[in-house]
Structure 1
C-alpha cells in the first residue's frame, strides 16, 4: 500500500490483494484439510496438549511441565491481509501490550522534551524536534524478537515440545497440526487446553480488508502511518490514536456509540476530552460505510451519522480498524468434540476453565465473559496446571481485576464503575468520593491538570467497603496496582482515609479524598500539604 506523507511517497509494505470473503475465511481460521498422518504414522502421546502459544497457553504449559507433565504447545500465526506475521508469544508480546506501551512511552518522551526546557535543560527553542518512525519500529521489533527467542529457550529448558503448526481437533483426544510444509501431524493428549486468543475484526464494508489495517499491523509498519483514521473507541483505538497523535501524526477517532464501553463513563468522557484538547479529532455517532483507494494511493473514508443519517468523507493515509476482536476458534472443530461456544464471538463457555467436554479446558481471551487481559490468562493458566497436576484446588478469581488504558493521560481502574455499582446496589446504597488534583511535576512547566481526577465508589453504610477505584493521571498503571491488592483484601473507605500517603506522589491523592458527589461540594484540588 502506498502512502503519501508531507508530499513524499512512502511504501508501507506489500499487501496481497484478496477478496473480502476470502480473507474473512482466513481471519476466522476455517481450516484447510490436508493429507494427515497415515495409519502407520506414529501419533505422539502427551499428558497435556496446549493449542495456542500466547501468554496464557505458555504459562499453563510451562507450569504443567515443571510439575512433571509431558507437554506440547501448538502455535501458528496466520498472516494479516497486509502479510504481517510474528513469532511465538501471542498478542501481548508481539502486537499488543508490549509494543503499545513502548510507543506510548515514545509519545510521552516527546512531551517531556518540552517540559525539560522549564526544568532548566537547554533544549534549543527554535530547533524543530522530529520523530523517526522507522527507528522506533526497529527498536520495538528488536525487543519483540528478543522476547520470542527467550520464550523458545524457556520452552526448551522446561522440556516443553513446541510445534509451529495450526492445531484442530480430529477427535476428543487427538489434535492435528497443519505445518507449513503441508504435512499434518497428530498428537494424543490426556488433557487439552485451548488458548488460541483472538484477532481483530474487520467491519463488513467495501474496502475494509483490502485497504485497512489493524493493531496486528501497526507496530511493524515500515513507513509512518501519517494522517490516520482510527475506527473504534475501545481501549485499543484510543491508545493507538493517542500515541500516534503524540508522535506527531494527525489522528481522528470514529465512535459509533460510547467510548471505552464497559469502563466508568465519567472517566471515559474525560479521557476523550483530554485527547481532543491535545489534538485528536473525534467523529461521534458515526460509522464507516466504505474505504476507497484514490489514484494517488491515499484512502477516502466515507461515513454516516447513525443519529441523523448525514454523510461525510475525508482522505487519510492509513485507516486503522479497532472495532473489536473475535476468538479464533472456528477452525478447531469444537462442535465435533462437544465444546459449546458462542457462534458470534467464537468464545467458549466455561466454568472454572472447564469446557462442556471432559478433559478439554480453555483459558485467556478465548473464554466467554471474562477480562481479555494478559495477566488474567497467565494466572488462570498456572492455577489450572496446579489443579491438573499437583492436586491444587484454587480457581481463578475474576473479580476486581485492575487494568490501565494507556491514553496520553492514563486511566487506571479496579472494581466496579459508578454506573455498575448504582445498578447492582441502588443509588441510595452507594457513596462516590471524587477529587481533582495537580501533580507536582505539572507545576514548573504549568501543564494543564484539569482532568487529573480520582474517584472511589463504595458502599454507603459503614465500614464503606470499596467497590471500585478510578484514577486519571500520570503513571496510572503503577498507582492502581497497589490499590488492586488492597481491594482483594476487602479495602474500606475507613482504612483508605486512615492510610498515610507518600508525599508528594499522585498515588497519595486516593488517601486525601474526602468530598462526596452527594454533598454537592466542589471537588477542586487541595493545596499541596492539606
Structure 2
C-alpha cells in the first residue's frame, strides 16, 4: 500500500524534533505537525525560559554578596516587563532556529493540530481557522510526541490559579505569591520569585520538598529555601481559592487540623504534569494506555517505543517513563535509528542524571541512599558525606551550605549514587555521571587528584 509519508510525527517538541530529523537523514519522507510554537515545553515554556529567569533572580543575591568583597552597596531595581520581553524574544529566536533545522533536514512542518482517524490516517485541523475543512494524510509509520501539561487539583476556585505556562506571561511581578506543590518546578519558581523580589509562600503536602530525591538533597534544599527567606509551610492541604473584591486571591488550607487563610496576588499551581492525550483520537487507532499510581494515563510502549500497534510509536513525556528533555531526545533518536537506520537500539534508563535549578541548586545521578539500602541491605551500603560553607561565601557572611555525597556498595566500593546541593551542582554532576555510567569505584575517586580550591574536589577527598 502507498502512503503520503514514511513517517508522520505529532508534536514538535524535543522528542519529535529529534526523531523527525534523524529519520529524514536516513532518506525517509517525513512530516511533523505542531499547532503551537515549534520547540515544545522545554524551549517554549519550560527549561529554557525558566533557566533564564533563574539567572535573572540570582543578581539580587550577587549585589548583596559583592559588599563582602569591598563593593559599594547598591539598591538594585528590577524591570519586570523588560525581563519578560527579553525572555520571550529568546524563546521566539530558538523556536525559529528549530523551524530552520527542520527545513534543512528536509522535514515538512505543518502548523496544524493532528489527530488519528485510524491506524494509518491523520486528520489535520487549522487551529487559527476552525471552520476550515480538515485535511487528511496517510503515513506508513506514526510517532506520537505530544509531551505533557500541568494538572490542577479539584478544589473550589482552582481556576484562579495559574500554571508554569502562564508564569512567563505575567504582565507584572507579583508582590506576594503562593506556590502549590513540592516537585522541582515549584521549588525552582519559589527561588526565582524570591530572588526577583516577591514574597513567596510555598505550600507543600509533605514535610519536605522534592520527594523521591535523596534525603540529604531534600534537607539541603529545604534549609536553603528557608535561609533565603522563602516561607515553606509543610503538611498542608489546600481547601479553596477565592477571588476577592480587591482582586487578590484568598487561599485557604488545612494544617494540623486547623484551617488557615492567606491573601496573595498570584497562585502558582505546580503539583505535577500529565501526558497531553486529549483530542489525539488514540481510540480510533486502538492504542492502549496505562495508568500510574496516581491514576494518570499515558501511552503504553515497549523498549523500542512501539505501541500495541506495530507501526505507531510514542516518545517523551506522553509515555511517562523518565520525563526529561534529554531522555525524550534519546528516545526519538533511538526510534529513528531502529526504524529507518537499520540500527535497532533502545534507551538505557539506568543512571540518568537530573538537576533541580533551585536556590541552592541540586543534582543527582544513580541511586539515593534509601534506594541503595532497599536494594542491597543497610549493612552493604556505605555513605560518604560532607557539608560545608563554600569558599565564595567566606567573605559574604551568607548562611550557605554545600552538601556532597557518595553512596557506595560496601564490598566492591562501586559508586551507586552521587548527590550534591550547591552552586554549579548540575555542571559538576554531569561529569560525575560519566564516571558512574562507567562503573567507577571509590578507589577510582580516591586515586583522582582534585582541582584546588574547588567544590568538585570534595568528591575525590571524601573519607
**Into which bin does the TM-score normalised by the smaller protein fall?**
over 0.9
Give the C-alpha shift of residue 44 in structure 1.
Answer: 7.0
Aligned ranges for residues 64-143 of structure 1 at < 5 Å? 64-77=23-36, 87-121=37-71, 123=72, 125=73, 127-143=74-90
> Deviations 1:492-514 (Å, cap 9, x if unpaired)?
11111111111112111111111
Aligned residues: CA RMSD: 1.5
Moved more, 99-108 or 336-345: 336-345
Shift of 1:428: 1.2
Tell me whether 1:441 sits opposite 2:392 in the alignment: yes
Q: Does the aligned pair in 1 maintain the 2:162–2:268 contact within 8 Å?
A: yes
- Equivalent-residue separation in structure 2 for 1:507 and 1:176 (angstroms): 53
Q: Please say if 1:61 is aligned against 2:20.
A: yes
Corresponding position: 1:295 with 2:245: yes
Worse overlay, 342-351 or 296-305: 342-351
The 4+ residue runs of structure 1 with deviation greater than 4 A are: none
Q: Is the 8 A contact 1:44 1:186 kept in 2?
A: no
Q: 1: CA distance between counterparts of 2:408 and 2:427?
A: 22
Residue 285 of structure 1 is aligned with which of 235, 240, 254?
Answer: 235
Which ranges of structure 1 fall in alignment gaps of 5 or more residues?
Answer: 1-42, 78-86, 515-530
Q: CA deviation at 1:418?
A: 1.0
Quote the residue 2:447 is aligned against: 498
Alignment of 1:449-468 (within 5 A): 449=400, 451-462=401-412, 464-468=413-417
What per-residue deviation string (whole Å, max 9, x for no partner) do you get for residues 144-196 of structure 1? Answer: 01001111111111111111222211011112122122231222111111110
Q: What do residues 465-484 of structure 1 show as CA deviations (whole Å, max 9, x unaligned)?
A: 11110011111110000011
Deviations 1:81-132 (A, max 9, x none): xxxxxx21111011111111111111112211122233233x3x3x422211
Q: Distance in 2 between matches of 1:396 and 1:251?
A: 39
Q: Partners in 2 of 1:230 and 1:397 — Cα distance? A: 34
CA distance in structure 2 between the aligned counterparts of 1:293 and 1:438, rounded to whole angstroms: 43
CA-to-aligned-CA distance 1:50-71 (integer Å, 9 cap, x gap): 1111111101111111111111
Aligned partner of 1:419 among 353, 366, 370 = 370
How many residues are paired up? 454
Q: Which stretch has the larger CA shift, 155-164 or 53-62?
A: 155-164
Q: Secondary structure at the match of 2:179?
A: strand
Equivalence for 2:459: 510
Query: Are the aligned partners of 2:274 and 2:297 in contact in 1 as well (CA < 8 Å)?
Result: yes
Residue-by-residue CA offset, 1:367-396 (whole Å, 9 max, x unaligned):
13x221101111111121111111112211
CA distance in 1, matches of 2:137, 2:219: 50
Which residues of 2 match residues 334-345 of structure 1 at below 5 A? 334-343=282-291, 344-345=295-296
Residue number in structure 2 paired with 1:359: 311
2 CA distance for matches of 1:71 and 1:413? Answer: 37
Instruction: Report 1:158-177 matches (<5 A).
Output: 158-177=105-124
Aligned to 1:288, what secondary structure does the other structure show?
strand
1:119-518 aligned within 5 A: 119-121=69-71, 123=72, 125=73, 127-180=74-127, 181-182=129-130, 183-209=133-159, 211-257=160-206, 258-305=208-255, 308-343=256-291, 344-352=295-303, 353-368=305-320, 370-449=321-400, 451-462=401-412, 464-514=413-463
Q: TM-score, normalised by structure 1?
A: 0.83
